[in-house]
Structure 1
Amino acid sequence: MSAAGAATLFGTTPSAAAPSIAGAKEADAQLKARDAMRAANVGMRSSYAALKSALISRLSPVIVVQNDATGGRFTLIHQGSERKSVSPVPELFELAKSISHVPQGIFSIIAAYLSDKVPNVPNADRIDPHDLDMVASEGPQADGWTRPLQGYAATLRTARRQLGKAGLPQELEASCGKILDEALTFIGDSVKNGAFDIASFEEFSGRTYPSIRVNMKFAAEAQISGVEGLMRKWRVEIGEEAWKDLYTVVLSIWTTSELNQASIIIRRCMNPAKVATHLIDLPTVEVPRDPIFVALDNLARIVQDNVSAEMVFPTDPVVADAFKGKEDLLSVEILHQTGATAGAPTTASRPPGGSGCPVREAAAPLPVS
């Protein structure tokens, strides 16, 4: 029996089997070739991580700032292992902000029970109806707000009763008293009436705003004096030669990462020639468990990328700047292919007062993913 006859007898044909085997071999070869290409990137990442790990221990001098309710915790790393952690801001900062946050505390309790319709209030056009609909999940018919609001009122009454013993400046004590009094009045009226709405809350919060501005003044003065005093002290300790190359990494959540209060103060204390590249505002999703490591790990990326960008892309300074900065490496090419203007997607990346094409500006670098 011929081969063709045997193939027919067993239900196969040579013309179908041969291409199938060839196709499988070709697919397998393609898979191996692509895996070999990926291996080049795996090797790069391994070497990159090793360089970064070794560099972390040599970063110096560095100040790491952890924003918190007390005005920030500042850590100085100098000559590798020398670390000093200080909370330099006077307590007045925390106290002033604590009372300023009372309207936000009330809002957080009642927000889910608001109507999902924007009423006729002066700032109605500034309230996104869809956002409001998602926040007002329970609606005004539910009464789950009553007990939590009464519990918060008990906390506020205690603070009001003891306010005079806190040793505050007279102006700050008066403003804190006004905020607490207005808050307790709003809560009392809302509980008595069994209702509140956006208009009644905005009327209350509007009455507290002048006092909140007073508290903000005291908080800002306390933070400036505390941070600048610490910067002067550390500058003397490590010396002018080291200070001129100082890196500062400010950790914050996204909502406070632009025009961050600590960054505004610290930039005035750093070397003006390097502050644009050596003051790093690092937004995080949440407060990291090990903020010092997170700061140094990201700074190590920045420092080694600053060098590698110029060596890997010596013929294209625009792409080198993108590699060193906040822009994704492909940003220049994607902008070119999509016909988009550079200013639109990267405006937030530009330093205050920046102008022109941000891709061509040397913004403060952040890690490249």
Structure 2
Amino acid sequence: MSVLDYLFPTDPLNLKQNKKERSGNGQLTIWRYFPNNRREILVEISFHFLIRELTMLQKFQNVRQPLIANHSSCPVNQKRSLKMLKAFLLTLILGTGLVSQNFLLPIPAYSQSEEIYPEGDQEYFKALLGLEKDEEYKKFLMDSVSYASGKKVEYVDYKGVRPTVDGEEGEPGGPGMDAGHVKQQTYEAMRNMDWFRKNNYQNFIRNVGHNIYPLIIASDYEPGKEGVGSTYYLYRRDRPVESVTPTSVMYEMEKILAHIPMGVFIVISPYFDNVANRPEGWEEPLIEYKKHVENIKEHLGKSDIGQATSMRAMKMLDMVNHYLQDCIESGSGDEQSYRAFAHTIIPYVAEAMKAAVELQIQAGLSAMSQWKKELGPKEWDKLHVLIPVVWPVAEGSPRRQIFEHLMTPERAKTNIFEVHTGSHDEARTTLGRIKGDSVMAGLTFDKNTRFGMGSYLRLSSPTDLVQGATKEELKKHPKTQENILPLKTPHSD
């Protein structure tokens, strides 16, 4: 049995297999956590000297000679060997103690990994930390949460946020009240304090968001302008709001042609599984859609939209007309017939989509390039972009890609946000929450600790602050019927 086999019979650190490699670089990195100071400390244990001494000791064991006997002819060598032996024993004791401590003591979940980022958009986290080096941008963010410099600040009393607590209007208890009543009063007092916080927080994020300039809101959902290829709004401090809808009517026409299969599907699909027993009047939506098709065909030949587009549109409209006519006359229209129709028309749909994208990108890129020129490099670098979206089309929109093309990769990652809001006021308030929370988290948490860094990144991103803690807690409750906790009321202990 070798010395390594004796000291590490289970080889937990893979010393025997990697003895040569470890003796070369001589380091093993282990994360440790000391509860007394609540700080994470990286302990680097150097194995270079340890492995060298273990190897020497193994050689002496094989030849059955004492360590000092090899140097008995020279007193100097004897002293040197004694020093080396003492150093070896000290290193062995220290190393074994630290390794044992590492295996025996519990380590909190957030300090087990060398990865500093929590789960979420890793590229966004990296870009966010990159902003820490930009002093001018950090000053810009700090200014955004300040009410100084003559900023427009409004205070709204969000009375609807205030909680209603049972017994709030009751008489105050006397000195003889029981502990349960005191607990209820404590609960009421805490909720009132939290209402005060919520009220101020709503005003804080609204005022932050309404004082971030320059800002562009790129919307597809403005009333009366839905589906026209985006309307862009530019907000600048002390300047009127500018707006532009750069796409032409040709864009919208190509988009309408591309939506033809959807239009057919939504009027016929409710009857796919009820061909034999359809209710009276089921075909009326199909007849109305067919009238729209015929009306377009009547005008198409007289328009100046271009021969190629006109011919493609006419083919698509004829396909729709024939399919709808067949459904109406024969009472057909099931999954198979719709699939056959759709697969036939899709190549033309793809051409219409491509034409629409070309028109949208050319127009949008031109308009936003003009605004970029007007703002200048310094203001453009501060630009934030809000893109109102709905979930089915929340990612990869042409609006985002246009701004990603015009902005630096870092700013595109940290300054463009898809927001699920219905108005500009709500969108700007959401921006205030994004940036306000980030500034607050950066000052509140110690980013030199893993917990602090994780909290800062989570509060600065869509990732929930308690994501990691929630995951760890759920691990305590296996997915079995026996481990389902009993239902508790909101006011139960």
Q: Deviations over 1:1-29 (max 9, x none)?
A: xxxxxxxxxxxxxxxxxxxx999621110
Pair 1:321 & 2:457 matched: yes
> Counterpart of 2:203?
50
Q: Deviations over 1:229-256 (max 9, x none)?
A: 0111101111111001110000011111
Superposition pairs of residues 112-151 of structure 1, within 5 angstroms: 112-115=270-273, 141-151=278-288
Which piece of structure 1 moves more, 192-201 or 103-112? 103-112
Assess if the C-alpha contact under 8 Å between 1:112 and 1:139 holds in 2.
no
Partner SS, residue 232 of structure 2: strand
Q: Percent of aligned pairs with the same residue?
A: 23
> Counterpart of 2:428?
296
The number of aligned residues is: 294
Specify every segment of 5 or more residues in structure 1 that has no aligned partner in the other structure, as ranges: 1-20, 117-137, 341-369
Residue 167 of structure 1: how far off its partner (Å): 2.2
Pair 1:83 & 2:263 matched: no
Q: Which of 401, 406, 419 is equivalent to 1:269?
A: 406
Q: Deviations over 1:25-65 (max 9, x none)?
A: 21110011122222332222222223223323321011001
> Counterpart of 1:35?
188
Structure 2 CA distance, aligned partners of 1:53 and 1:283? Answer: 16
Question: Aligned partner of 1:317: which letter?
Answer: M
Question: Aligned partner of 1:299: which letter?
Answer: L
Superposition pairs of residues 137-176 of structure 1, within 5 angstroms: 141-176=278-313
Q: Higher Cα Rg: structure 1 or 2?
A: 2
> Counterpart of 1:25?
178
Assess if the C-alpha contact under 8 Å between 2:273 and 2:334 holds in 1.
yes
Structure 1 CA distance, aligned partners of 2:260 and 2:348? Answer: 12
Partner SS, residue 268 of structure 1: helix
Partner SS, residue 274 of structure 1: helix
Structure 2 CA distance, aligned partners of 1:238 and 1:252? Answer: 26
Change (3 A) 1:34 1:161: same
Structure 1 CA distance, aligned partners of 2:206 and 2:373? Answer: 30
> Counterpart of 2:102?
none
Q: Which of 354, 379, 391 is equivalent to 1:254?
A: 391
Pair 1:189 & 2:326 matched: yes
Structure 2 CA distance, aligned partners of 1:222 and 1:100? Answer: 14
Assess if the C-alpha contact under 8 Å between 1:57 and 1:81 holds in 2.
no
Change (3 A) 1:139 1:40: farther
Assess if the C-alpha contact under 8 Å between 1:114 and 1:139 holds in 2.
no
Pair 1:335 & 2:471 matched: yes
> Counterpart of 1:240?
377
Structure 2 CA distance, aligned partners of 1:256 and 1:23? Answer: 61
Partner SS, residue 241 of structure 2: strand
Structure 2 CA distance, aligned partners of 1:139 and 1:84? Answer: 57
Question: Aligned partner of 2:434: which letter?
Answer: I
Pair 1:69 & 2:227 matched: yes
Structure 2 CA distance, aligned partners of 1:152 and 1:220? Answer: 26
Change (3 A) 1:141 1:49: closer
Question: Aligned partner of 1:281: which letter?
Answer: E
Partner SS, residue 85 of structure 1: strand
Structure 2 CA distance, aligned partners of 1:179 and 1:142? Answer: 29
Assess if the C-alpha contact under 8 Å between 1:75 and 1:85 holds in 2.
yes
Partner SS, residue 59 of structure 1: coil
Structure 1 CA distance, aligned partners of 2:472 and 2:411? Answer: 30
Partner SS, residue 244 of structure 1: helix
Q: Deviations over 1:244-300 (max 9, x none)?
A: 11100000111111112211222111232211110001134xxx2xx2212211111
Question: Aligned partner of 1:244: which letter?
Answer: D
Question: Aligned partner of 1:115: which letter?
Answer: D
Question: Aligned partner of 2:401: which letter?
Answer: I
> Counterpart of 1:59?
212
> Counterpart of 1:5?
none
Partner SS, residue 387 of structure 2: strand
Structure 2 CA distance, aligned partners of 1:139 and 1:271? Answer: 60
Change (3 A) 1:114 1:80: farther
Change (3 A) 1:139 1:81: farther
Structure 2 CA distance, aligned partners of 1:81 and 1:331? Answer: 41
Question: Aligned partner of 1:60: which letter?
Answer: Y
Residue 151 of structure 1: how far off its partner (Å): 1.2
